[in-house]
Chains A and B, each alone.
Chain A
Amino acid sequence: GQQVMQIPQYQHVQEGEDFTTYCNSSTTLSNIQWYKQRPGGHPVFLIQLVKSGEVKKQKRLTFQFGEAKKNSSLHITATQTTDVGTYFCAGPSFGNEKLTFGTGTRLTIIP
């Protein structure tokens, strides 16, 4: 079955440093979605990428979808304490309505 892996599993950064998480799927994805889950909370949708090679920005967050539509990345510039949480990528394979979530990257910030 489809597998979606993320690296790293954990990342500790000093406040103000940059952060990147990488997402890799075993199958080609029709789209990729990113979610953020704060400690003790539920996942909240951040963004969806659909086109091969697509890049989208949300303030300090930059999202990329790979040319082969099998990988994606999320980059945060100059992290802040509000960025703390676990970031998940998720995507359906073509012809499959099920959304498979990645293993997640947990970000902690050292003030």
Chain B
Amino acid sequence: DGGITQSPKYLFRKEGQNVTLSCEQNLNHDAMYWYRQDPGQGLRLIYYSQIVNDFQKGDIAEGYSVSREKKESFPLTVTSAQKNPTAFYLCASSIGEKKLFFGSGTQLSVL
């Protein structure tokens, strides 16, 4: 069954801690994206990658880092520099400018 898998579903971060959110896709899509969604708000782009070993900053990249070592994987690290990390994080993939396929999301909260 093709799709995008995000894990974990819920994640808690302690002060000063880095945490990594996983995103795996088996759709053979070249492009992958990370979005942040705050309650009652739209989606804001954090990072995106059009091809393996290459990625670009989105609109709110500060305090986040990514890697794209494999086509199917695009993990997002929320670093301790991100002072307001509590949000719903969505990973997506696409072929070119076509529709985005989203994962089921990870809810990150601060302890």
Q: CB within 8 Å of B: which residues of A?
A: 1, 6, 30-31, 33, 35, 41-45, 48, 88, 90, 92, 97-104, 106
Contacts and interface: CB of A to CB of B under 8 A. Distances in A.
Interface in B66-111: 90, 97-105
Nearest to A1: B59
A33 B42 CA distance: 14
Contact of A101 (B43, B48, B97): B43
Contacts of B27: none
A88 B45 CA distance: 14
A19 to B, nearest CB: 18
Task: List the 5 shortest-distance A-B pairs measured between CB atoms, nearest first.
Answer: A45-B99, A101-B43, A42-B102, A103-B42, A101-B42
Interface residues of B, number: 23
A99 B40 contact: no
B63 interface: no
Contacts of B33: 99
Given A43-B102, A92-B97, A98 B41 contact: no
16 contacts: A6-B42, A30-B97, A31-B97, A33-B100, A35-B100, A42-B105, A43-B43, A43-B102, A45-B99, A88-B43, A97-B31, A97-B50, A100-B45, A102-B42, A104-B41, A106-B40
Contacts of A99: 33, 45, 97, 100
Contacts of A102: 42
B42 A88 contact: yes
Contacts of B105: 42
Contacts of B58: 98
Contact of A43 (B40, B90, B97): B90
B33 to A, nearest CB: 8
Given A41-B104, A90-B43, A99-B100, 12 more contacts: A6-B42, A30-B97, A31-B97, A43-B43, A43-B90, A44-B102, A45-B101, A97-B31, A103-B41, A104-B41, A104-B42, A106-B40
